[in-house]
Amino acid sequence: MSVTRPRVRDDIDEILPGVIADRRHLHQHPELGFQEVETARFVEERLRAIGIQEVQTGIATTGLTGLIRGGKGPGKVVLLRADMDALPIHEQNDVEYKSLHDGVMHACGHDAHTAMLMGIARVLHDRRDEFAGTVKVLFQPAEEGGGGARVMIEEGVLDAPNVDAVFGMHMAQETPVGKIAVRPGPAMAAADRFTIVIKGKGGHGAAPHLTVDPIAIGAQIVVALQTIVAREIDPIQPAVVTVGAFLAGEAANVIPDSAELRGTVRSFDPDVRTQLQERITALVQGIATAMRAEAEVRYNPGYPPTVNEPEMTALVREVAIGVVGEENVIEEPVKMGAEDFSYFLEARPGSFFFVGTRNPDKGFVWGHHHPRFDIDEEGMGYGMETMIQTVLRYLETP
């Protein structure tokens, strides 16, 4: 008598309540980047309970990986990634799983990513005799600005065994639950930061001729920076220059010694990215000099653009059609937001896709990084199924 293996969807239906409970536990206990100590411990316990023996912890401080070796022998190695960090936001939701940590909140969905990947690991471990090759599940710290992905790669997570392909997903609060969004090629921007310090000469507000006013100079710089995108960058190329902070002065009648501007720069094209850095630096120096001040520009390169490999993305798309139906697989628009999964995609071919979690009927309408952010957890099941089927398909393709 032969026993037919239950479908992946049946596995997911069975474990989804547990995955949701895990997500809620993580939601209640959020931790900031590189401080995900309890989260990492929780994940490690789960991986070991599943039966995964090759678990490596303490990578990039709190990151960890687990290896699932297929029972049909060696083959390709595929890496699946979840991020574990929360944000410095005070939750305003009134739910039973509300954050217990004041001022810290899972407001981007990384709690769901972590819970889903633990569920995915369980299903793939249970089905390991069905595939050849190896699945590496990776839980990283500090996606929200800390670049935990880069540190994990530096510490060797793509080697031994050498990883052939990488996949990741993100909850998408602008996409209705039940839909999956994919995008081949460039999907999310590169994000760089700058800090400009304008050194003038302070003095009495009534005697400006005896000072070098860093506020007046800073104001000129803010306006001039806006002309870079408007007048110097190819209009077909996406680019953003935003000054998000202008720090100077205390009193109405005092001209301060210095002013500080902080900003973020977004782009896709590597040449545009270089051009932005060069022109921001040159413009600031030129204006400061012309106005008798000195300026220091600190430019911090951040995440590279997130570029999905077309064939891998086609695979995700095809699998997603099988999961949610053709009408529910949409093309993700290009976003100027950034994502440190880009470091994995720089190093290996792969795809990063988006899982709809918006549901106005249940009140899940607030966007990422909002204090009332929350998701329709039903989306987690579709994300997990898409990921598991993608892995099985990828590993079986020669």
Rounded least distance, CB 82 to Zn ion, Å:
10
Which helix (H) or strand (E) segment is 272 a member of?
helix 270-290
CB nearer Zn ion, residue 108 or residue 297: 108
**What's the full length of the chain, in residues?**
398
CA atoms within 13 A on the CB side of 395: 31
Catalytic positions, please? 303, 377
CB of residue 64 vs Zn ion: minimum separation in angstroms?
19
User: Cβ closer to Zn ion: 125 or 370?
Assistant: 370
Rounded to a whole number of angstroms, the minimum distance from the CB of residue 89 to Zn ion is: 10
Nearer to Zn ion, 108 or 307 (CB): 108
CA atoms of 367 and 258, how far apart (whole Å): 36
Minimum CB–partner distance for residue 369 and Zn ion (Å): 6
**Binding-residue pattern over the window 76 to 115 for Zn ion, x denoting contact by CB under 5 A:** --------------------------------x-------
Nearer to Zn ion, 108 or 191 (CB): 108
The H-or-E segment that residue 312 falls in is helix 310-324
Q: Could you say whether residue 171 binds Zn ion (CB under 5 A)?
A: no
229/232 Cα distance (integer angstroms): 6
For 172-241, the DSSP string reads EEEEETT-EEE-SEEEE-EEEEEEEEEE-B-EETT-GGGSB-HHHHHHHHHHHHHHHHHHTS-TTS-EEE
Please give the structure tokens belonging to residue 337: 């937001």
- Write down the least CB distance from residue 13 to Zn ion, Å: 26
In angstroms, what is the minimal distance from the CB of 38 to Zn ion?
A: 19
CA–CA gap between residue 282 and residue 56 (Å, rounded): 46
Tell me the β-bridge partners of 300: 193
Question: If we measure between CA atoms, which residue out of 335, 351, 9, 346 comes closest to residue 172?
Answer: 335
Please state at what angle helix 8-28 crosses helix 37-50, rounded to 10 degrees. Answer: 150
CB 164, min distance to Zn ion, A:
25
CB nearer Zn ion, residue 108 or residue 217? 108
Nearer to Zn ion, 192 or 339 (CB): 339
Q: Which of 182, 178, 184, 183 is nearest to 325 (CA)?
A: 178
- Report the phi/psi class of residue 139: left, alpha or beta, with left for phi > 0 and alpha for psi in -120 to 50: beta
Closest residue by beta carbon to Zn ion: 108
Ramachandran class of 58: left when φ > 0, alpha when ψ lies in -120 to 50, beta otherwise: left
Toward Zn ion, which CB reaches closer, 168 or 238? 168
Helices 378-396 and 8-28, axial angle in degrees (round to 10): 130
Nearer to Zn ion, 110 or 136 (CB): 110
**Site string (307-336) toward Zn ion, x via CB under 5 A:** ------------------------------
Residue 333 to residue 188: CA distance in whole angstroms: 9
Question: Which residue, chain included where needed, has tokens 């309408």?
Answer: 365
| Binding-site size, Zn ion (CB under 5 A) | 1
Q: How far is the CB of 144 from Zn ion (least distance, A)?
A: 5
Binding site for Zn ion (CB under 5 A): 108
